[in-house]
Chains A and B, each alone.
Chain A
Amino acid sequence: MKKKKWLGIAMTAVLAIGSLAACSNDEKTTGSSSGKGDSSTITFWAPFSGPDGPRMKSIVEDYNKSQSEYKVDFQIVPQSDYYKTVDLSFSGQKNGPDVMIMHRDQLPTYVEKKLVKDVTETAEKAGVKEENYAETAWEGGQIDGKQYGIPLDIHPLVFYYNKDLFKQAGLDPEKPPTNREEFLDAAKKLTDSSKNQYGFVVPTLWPNQFIYPTVLFQNGGELLKDGKPNYNSPEGVEALTFLSDLVKKEKVSPANVQQDGEVTLFLQGKNAMHLNGPWMMEQWDKAKLNYGVAPVPQLGTKQQAVYANAHNFVIPASVKDEKKLDATTDFLKYVAENTMEWAKSGQAPASKAVYESAEFQKMKQQPQVAKQFEYAKFAPTVSNWGQISEPLWQEVNLALLGKKDPQKALDDATKKAEQLANK
Chain B
Amino acid sequence: MNKANRKSQLTSSLFVLPYLLLFTVFLLIPIIYGIWMSLHNWDLLSPVHEFVGLKNYLNIFDPASYLNNLFFTGLKNTLLFVVFSVPLLVVVGLGLALLINSLPARIRGLFRTVYFIPYSVSVSVVAIIWLWILDTNSGLINQYLQKFNLPVIAWLTDMPWAWISLVIATLWWTIGFNMIIFINALNDVSEELYEAGALDGASRWQRFRFITLPSIKPIMLFVLITSTIASFNIYGQPYLMTRGGPGDSTKVLLMNIVDEAFKQRQLGSAAAMSLLMALMMIIISVIQFRISNRKGVE
Contacts and interface: CB of A to CB of B under 8 A. Distances in A.
A15 interface: yes
B145 interface: no
Contacts of B25: 23
Interface in B47-86: 47, 65-67, 69
A87 interface: yes
Interface stretch (B93-101, B214-222, B237-245, B289-297): B237-245
Main secondary structure of the interface of A (DSSP, over half): helix
Contact of B45 (A1, A91, A206): A91
A12 to B, nearest CB: 6
Contacts of A257: 136-137, 157
A23 B22 CA distance: 12
B66 A423 contact: yes
B138 A205 contact: no
B246 A258 contact: no
A256 interface: yes
A5 B7 contact: yes
B156 interface: yes
Given A23-B25, A84-B262, A397-B245, A90 B158 contact: no
Contact of B243 (A87, A93, A206): A206
Contacts of A91: 44-45, 47
A16 interface: yes
B47 to A, nearest CB: 7
Given A19-B21, A256-B158, A261 B45 contact: no
Contact of B263 (A386, A397, A404): A386
Main secondary structure of the interface of B (DSSP, over half): loop
B14 A8 contact: yes
A87 B25 CA distance: 23
A93 B47 contact: yes
A268 B241 CA distance: 20
B27 to A, nearest CB: 15
Contacts of B147: none
A304 interface: no
Contacts of B65: 423
Interface string A164-204: 00000000000000000000000000000000100001001
B10 A261 contact: no
A205 B66 CA distance: 23
Given A5-B6, A8-B14, A259 B263 contact: no
Interface residues of B, number: 43
A204 B245 contact: yes
Interface string B243-269: 111111001000000010011110000
B241 A259 contact: yes
B216 to A, nearest CB: 40
Contacts of B69: 416, 419
Interface residues of A, number: 54
Contact of B135 (A264, A397, A403): A264
B154 interface: yes
Nearest to A397: B245
A60 B284 CA distance: 54
B167 interface: no
B66 A398 contact: no
Residue with the greatest number of chain A CB neighbours at <10 A, chosen from B14, B66, B259? B66
Interface in B78-137: 131, 134-137
B17 interface: yes
A257 B11 CA distance: 62
Contacts of B67: 423
A87 B45 contact: yes
Nearest to A422: B66
A110 interface: yes
Contacts of A404: 247
A265 B25 CA distance: 49
Given A387-B263, A420-B66, A395 B137 contact: no
A49 B241 CA distance: 22
A249 interface: no
Nearest to A389: B263
Given A91-B45, A113-B45, A387-B259, A261 B138 contact: yes
Contacts of A113: 45-46
Contacts of A416: 66, 69
12 contacts: A1-B3, A4-B7, A12-B13, A87-B265, A88-B44, A110-B45, A258-B155, A259-B241, A394-B247, A398-B246, A401-B157, A404-B247
Given A204-B157, A258-B155, A423-B66, 18 more contacts: A8-B10, A9-B10, A12-B14, A87-B262, A113-B46, A201-B137, A256-B157, A258-B154, A264-B135, A270-B138, A384-B264, A387-B263, A387-B264, A395-B247, A401-B157, A404-B247, A416-B69, A419-B69
Interface of A: 1, 4-5, 8-9, 11-12, 15-16, 19, 23, 83-84, 87-88, 90-91, 93, 109-110, 113, 115, 196, 201, 204-206, 254-261, 264-265, 268, 270, 384, 386-387, 390, 394-395, 397-398, 401, 403-404, 416, 419-420, 423
Interface of B: 3, 6-7, 10-11, 13-14, 17, 21, 25, 44-47, 65-67, 69, 131, 134-138, 154-158, 241-248, 251, 259, 262-265
